[in-house]
């Protein structure tokens, strides 16, 4: 395998419970093909990796079958072989007849002839970061669904807080919902809890609180608010994990990102791009990435690794901007 001229191809047909492996002879030789079937348990996949290394396989191709290819890829990735992941649509467009019994051999043959164009698979740290960001998206979607149910329960009991306050789950809205759960009946007294601009609309807020929530509806509201609190706790933990991983994957590099008329620290999107090897533009000056005059832009410090990363450095499936710039600090 150390010889660059040596090449031996292998095709893997991935299923839920088993993988069919077909190994071709090395290029330029007339050896016999080898074919075996392995189960998809971790121990069997480790045996697969060991067998491929014994066969001195250099190139492996597999088709992206649902999520079943991921554990196979993760284990074989540790073996130092060149892996190629095929998009099923690209495979269907190739010449020849593809049948289930000969999938592995068919893929290996096309790989040996150089007819395959593999899909991009990000490095393992970026894949893990993407899974965390997708989990965060799912948690946020669940949180929005629970908020909608809370609003429906309030509307059913004719509690019209959302008709007065723009955000039912702001500081005032949450305080009022907690008061409703505690059984407070004086709407005028509760309306005095209003903060900010809602202070001028206390009269409307008092009318909005004069609803009729039954005991059953209060119980529903209590359970939904508890579920919302749990989801928000999970979101906070996942966000902290994302921040930690991004900080670890930046190799100590600190950059800037244009937000409005100021340059702020680099976000997850650009940091993950730098980790994935996406080319980022590093300049000695701002270079027009923001509206601040060059003279007022802080000069880069080579010792601290400051760079000005262009907006072209981005990775798919990472959030556009995890943080918001508020009052000169991240929140």
Mean pLDDT in each 10-residue stretch from start to end of the chain (331 residues)? Answer: 71 92 88 91 95 93 90 91 88 64 82 85 89 95 94 86 82 83 73 77 78 85 93 95 83 43 42 42 38 41 36 34 34 33
Query: Looking at residue 286, what is its pLDDT?
Result: 39
Query: Looking at residue 273, what is its pLDDT?
Result: 47
Query: Looking at residue 186, what is its pLDDT?
Result: 74
Q: What are phi and psi of 84, to 5 degrees?
A: -125, 125
Q: What is the pTM of this model?
A: 0.63
What angle do the packed helices 124-156 and 268-276 form, to 10 degrees?
A: 160
For the chain, the structural domain boundaries read 9-121, 125-245, 251-330
Question: What is the phi-psi region of residue 125: left when phi exceeds 0, alpha when psi lies from -120 to 50, beta otherwise?
Answer: alpha
Strand 34-39 versus strand 18-23 pairing type: antiparallel
Nearest to 294 by CA among 306, 278, 283: 283
Joined tokens for residue 9: 């191809």
d(CA 262, CA 160): 40
d(CA 119, CA 110): 15
Query: Looking at residue 4, what is its pLDDT?
Result: 53
C-alpha of 63 from chain center: 22
Q: Are 9-121 and 125-245 the same fold in CATH? A: no
Class of domain 125-245: mainly alpha
Which helix (H) or strand (E) is 27 found in, with range? Answer: none
Query: Looking at residue 75, what is its pLDDT?
Result: 94
Nearest to 24 by CA among 6, 11, 37: 11
Joined tokens for residue 323: 């943080």
302-321 core/surface letters (b: 16 or more CB in 10 A; e: else): eeeebbbbbeebbbeebbee
Other beta carbons less than 10 A from residue 96's beta carbon? 10
Which helix (H) or strand (E) is 94 found in, with range? Answer: none
**Contacts within 8 Å (CB) and 24+ apart, 127-135:** 128/245, 129/242, 129/245, 129/246, 129/249, 129/268, 129/272, 129/275, 129/318, 130/315, 130/317, 130/318, 132/238, 132/241, 132/242, 132/245, 133/242, 133/268, 133/317, 133/318, 133/319, 134/317, 135/238
**pLDDT tens digits along 169-185:** 888 888 888 888 887 66
- Reduce the secondary structure of 251-269 to three states and give it as a string: CCCEEEEEECCEEEECCHH
Q: Which residues contact 66 (CB under 8 A, 6 or more apart)?
A: 16
The CATH-assigned architecture of domain 9-121 is 2-Layer Sandwich (3.30)
Q: How many CA atoms lie within 13 A of 4 on its CB side?
A: 0
Nearest to 254 by CA among 201, 319, 307, 181: 307
- Say whether 246 sits in a helix, a strand or coil: helix
């Amino acid at each position: 395998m150390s010889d660059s001229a040596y090449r031996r191809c292998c095709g893997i047909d991935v299923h839920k419970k088993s993988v069919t492996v077909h190994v071709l002879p090395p290029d330029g030789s007339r050896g016999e093909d080898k074919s075996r079937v392995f189960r998809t348990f971790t121990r069997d996949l480790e045996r697969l990796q060991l067998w491929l290394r014994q066969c001195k396989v250099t190139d492996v191709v597999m088709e992206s079958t649902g999520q079943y290819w991921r554990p196979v890829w993760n284990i074989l990735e540790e073996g130092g072989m060149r892996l190629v992941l095929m998009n099923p649509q690209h495979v269907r467009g190739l010449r020849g007849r593809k049948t289930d019994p000969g999938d592995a051999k068919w893929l290996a043959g096309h790989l040996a002839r150089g007819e395959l164009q593999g899909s991009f698979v990000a490095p393992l740290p970026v894949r893990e970061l993407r899974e965390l960001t997708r989990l965060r998206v799912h948690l946020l979607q669940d949180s929005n669904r629970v908020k909608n149910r809370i609003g429906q329960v309030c509307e059913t009991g004719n509690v019209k807080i959302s008709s007065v306050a723009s955000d039912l789950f702001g500081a005032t809205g949450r305080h009022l919902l907690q008061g409703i759960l505690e059984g407070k009946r004086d709407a005028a007294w509760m309306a005095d809890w209003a903060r900010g601009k809602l202070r001028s609309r206390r009269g409307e807020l008092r009318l909005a609180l004069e609803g009729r929530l039954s005991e059953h509806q209060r119980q529903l509201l209590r359970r939904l608010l508890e579920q919302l609190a749990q989801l928000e706790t999970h979101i906070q933990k996942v966000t902290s994990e994302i921040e930690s991983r991004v900080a670890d994957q930046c190799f100590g590099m600190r950059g800037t990102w244009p937000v409005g008329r100021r340059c702020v620290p680099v976000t997850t999107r650009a940091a993950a791009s730098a980790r994935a090897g996406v080319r980022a533009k590093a300049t000695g000056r701002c270079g027009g990435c923001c509206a601040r005059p060059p003279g007022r832009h802080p000069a880069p410090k080579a010792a601290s690794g400051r760079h000005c990363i262009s907006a072209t450095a981005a990775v798919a499936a990472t959030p556009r901007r995890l943080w918001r710039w508020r009052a000169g600090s991240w929140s």
